[in-house]
Structure 1
Amino acid sequence: MVKKKNRWKTLSTAGLLSALILAGCGNSEETTNEASGESGEKSYQVGITQIAEHPSLDAASVGFQQALKDEGLEVEFDTQVAQGDQNNNQSIANNFVSDQVDLIFANSTPSALGALNATKDIPIVFTSVTDAVGGGLVDSMEAPGGNITGTLDNHPDAIPNTVEFINKYFDIETIGVVYNSGEANSVSQIETVKEVIEGTGLKLAEATVSTSAEVKQATESLVGKADVLYIITDNTVVTALESVVQVATDKKIPLFVGELDSVARGGFAAYGFDYNDIGYEAGVMAAEILKGEKEAGEMDVQYPQNLKLVINKEAAEAMGVELNPEWEESAEFIE
C-alpha cells in the first residue's frame, strides 16, 4: 500500500478560482499583496518519492527539505514511500505527474527510474543513487541531459578503502556479501568489489535476495564460507540490517557496512558519509532549478563531499574484533 504524508491543503473556493486562472502559467502559485497589488513569493509543490523506509534514506529526505527551507523557498511537500514495492513506486511517480508538481525528488535509484519513466518534462532531482550512468538515469556525470540530475551515495574511494582496510588488518580469505541482484545500485557496487579484490588474494562469497524477508536466511548461508561480511548500500538488505547484525554477532563475524547509519545500527565499521548531507546538496540543486537559475539536465551529478571511517566499539566487542591502536589516527569511534 502506498504511504502518503503531507498532502497539499484543500484549496478554498477563492483559491481554486485563482488556481484555475493561473493554470496556464504552471503549477506554482504566486501570492499577491491585496493592499498594494505587488507580487509575493511563489509557492512550489514538490513530490518526494522514496523506495523504502530506513534511516539513511529518511535522513536524505530531511536534508533535502531543510535545504529548500534554507534557500528561502515556500514549498509544500508530498512525501510517499513505496515500501519496496515496484508497482507502488511507479504509481507514486505517475501520481506526481498527474498532480503537476513543480519538481520530483527521487530518493533511490528505483525511485529515480520510476520518475524518469513517468515524465520527461517535470524536473527530477535524485539522491541515494550509486551509478547514475550505469543505471540509465543520465548520459554522463558532467552533462546529465534531459530533465534529471542529483547527488550520488557512492564515493569513489569508499569500496577501495574498505577492501584495503580488510586486507591490511584482517587475516582472512573470503568476504561475504548479501545484496539484491535486482537493484542496479547493488550490482554496480558488487562489480566494483570484485574489481578491487583482484590481485589481493581475497575471494568473494555471494548471497542474493529479492525481499527483506530473505535477508537473514541469505546471511546465514554465508556462515562457514565468509570470514567477514560486507553489506553495501543495498536498500533491500539495509532495511533488514538488524537480522544481519544478529547473525554477525552470534557467529562472531566482523560486519562491514556501506553507510554511517548502518554503523550506528550495529555494523562494525564503514567508510561513509552522512546521507543528510547528500540530501541537502540535492536540495540546493533543486532550489536553483525552481528559481529558474538552471536546468536540471545541465547540472553536474555530484559525489558526496565528505568520506570518513567510523567504527562501532560495542559492535567490535560483540563480533570479537580487537581494536587496533593504529585506527585511532584515522577513525571516529562510536560506543
Structure 2
Amino acid sequence: MRRVQVIIALLVAMLLALAGCGQATKTESVQQKAEQASPEKKVKVGITQIAEHPALDSIRKGIIDQLAEEGFKDGETMQLEYLNAQNDMNNVATIAQQMVADKKDLIIPITTPSAQAVAQQAKEIPVVFSAVTDPVAAKIVPALDKPAENITGTSDVSPMDKQVQLVKEFIPSLKKLGVIYNTGEVNAEVQVGMIEEAAKALGVTVEKAGVSSSNEVKQRTESIVGKVDAILIPVDNTVVSSFEALLTAAKASKVPVFASDSDTVKRGAVATYGIDYYKLGRQTGVMASRVLKGEKPGSMPVETLKDVQLVMNEAAAKNFGLSVPDKLKANAQVVK
C-alpha cells in the first residue's frame, strides 16, 4: 500500500510540474507577442514659431524636410508637434511651458522670442533654435562658439551694411532712411544699431519708427513717409507679418520699401541681400538630427548661413519710379 501511495505522489508532482512549465511557456509566448506587436519608440519633437509668414514657414519646411532625410519622419520615427503663437507673447510663454511639460526629446523654437521663452523653461531638454539674429544679445547662449549646455542653433543675421549700400545704389540722392521695427525685440534693436552705423558711414540719417504690435505698423509707417527717402525693414517678425499694411502706406506716398529677406521682396519690396530661409531651415534640421542621434548641443557652435543672394523685384521698383542699376542686374535673382 505504501509503495502505491509513493507512486501516486510522484505522478501528481510530475503533473503539477508539467502544468507549471506549460503556463510559463504560455506566459513567455504572450510577452514575446506583445513585444513584437509594440511599435518602435518615436522621438518627440516640438517646433514653436512666433507667427506665420513666408520666411518663417520656409524655415519650418526646411527643418522638417531635412529631418525626414536624416531618418526622422513624422508619424513613423518621429512624433512632431507644431504650435504657432500668432504673434502673442502670452502664447509664446505658454507654448514653451507646454512643450517642456510634455518632456520633448528636442524643442526647435523659430525666432528670437520663441527661443528666449524656451531657453527660460527648458533646462535639461535639448534645444536647437533657428532664425535668432543675435543669440548672445538675446541671452539665449553665452557665446556663439560655446553655447549653453543644452542649447544651440542657427542665426539669420543679415548684412545690414550691404542692405544700406543697396538702397543707396538705387537712390544715389538718399539722405534720410526710415526704419520700422519692434522695440520689444532684441534682434530688431541689434539690427537697427547696425543700420545706423552703416548709414552714418554713407552720410545718411536714420529715422526710426518703433512699434510694439503688428496693429501699429501701418500707422507708424504713415508717420514717417513724409520725412524719408526710403524705408528699410530689418528681419523683424512683427513688421514683416504686417508687410502689406506697410506697403500700402508707403505706396500712397511713393516711398520705396527695401527688405532684409527675399520672401518680403517677393511680396512687393524693391530689393535685398537676403538669405534663403528654406536653406537656413535645412541647416537647422541637420543640427537637430545630430542632437537626436546623441550629440550634445553644447558641443555645437551656433551656425550662420553665409551665402546671401541679391534679390530684386522689377515690378516693385517700377511702381516706386525706380530703375534697376545695370551692374546689379547681372548678379541678381529677379522676381516679377
Please indicate the TM-score interval, normalised by the length of the shorter structure: 0.7 to 0.9
3-state DSSP of counterpart to 1:105: strand
Task: Show the 5 A alignment for 1:30-49.
Answer: 42-49=41-48
Higher strand share: 1
Is contact 2:147–2:301 with CA below 8 Å preserved after alignment? Answer: yes
The two structures, once aligned, show a CA RMSD in angstroms of 1.9
The correspondence of residues 207-226 of structure 1 with structure 2, limited to 5 A, is 207-226=209-228
Q: CA deviation at 1:42?
A: 4.4
**Cα displacement (A) at 1:297:** 1.5
Distance 2:32 2:116 in 1: 40
Instruction: Trace 1:121-200 onto structure 2 (pairs within 5 A).
Output: 121-155=124-158, 158-170=159-171, 171-200=173-202
Q: Which residue of 2 aligns with 1:3?
A: none
Residues 1:66 and 2:69 are matched in the alignment: no
Aligned to 1:88: 91
> CA deviation digits over 1:62-101, x for unaligned, max 9?
1111111000122111111111111111110111111111
Question: Which residue does the alignment assign to 2:241?
Answer: 239
Which residue is 1:15 aligned to? none
State the secondary structure of the residue aligned to 2:114: helix
1:284-295 equivalence runs, <5 A = 284-292=286-294, 294-295=295-296
Question: Residue type matched to 1:75 in 2?
Answer: M
- Aligned partners of 2:32 and 2:50: how far apart in 1? 40
Which of the residues 230, 253, 256 maps onto 1:254? 256
Distance, in Å, in 1 between the alignment partners of 2:32 and 2:209 is 61
Q: Does 102-111 or 322-331 show the bigger shift?
A: 322-331
Long gaps (5+) in structure 2: 1-30
Distance apart, 1:279 and its partner CA:
1.2
Look up the equivalent residue of 1:260 and give its one-letter code: S
TM-score with structure 2 setting the length: 0.86
Q: Residue deviations 1:12-38, cap 9 Å, x none?
A: xxxxxxxxxxxxxxxxxxxx9959969
Partner AA of 1:77 in structure 2: L
TM-score, scaled relative to structure 1:
0.86
What is the rounded CA distance, in whole Å, between the counterparts of 2:33 and 2:189 in structure 1? 56
Could you report, residue by residue, the CA deviation over 1:143-202 in whole angstroms, capped at 9, with x for unpaired residues? 1022111011114xx211111222344111000010110001100000111111223110
Q: Distance in 1 between matches of 2:38 and 2:81?
A: 25
Query: Given that residues 251 and 319 in structure 1 are in contact (C-alpha distance below 8 angstroms), is that contact kept between their aligned partners in structure 2?
Result: no
The letter for the 1-side match of 2:161 is: P
C-alpha distance after superposition, 1:197-220 (max 9, x if no partner): 223110000111111011001001
Once the two structures are overlaid, the 10-residue window that deviates more, 174-183 or 146-155, is: 146-155
Matched, 1:50 2:49: yes
The change in CA–CA distance for 1:284 and 1:220 in structure 2 (over 3 A counts) is same
Contact 2:155 2:305 in 1 (8 A): yes
Select which of 102, 113, 123 maps to 2:116. Answer: 113
**Contact 2:169–2:325 at 8 Å: present in 1 too?**
no
Distance 1:166 1:264 in 2: 17
Give the distance between the partners of 1:136 and 1:279, measured in 2 at CA: 22
Counterpart for residue 285 of structure 2:
283
Q: Structure 1: which 5+ residue stretches go unaligned? A: 1-31
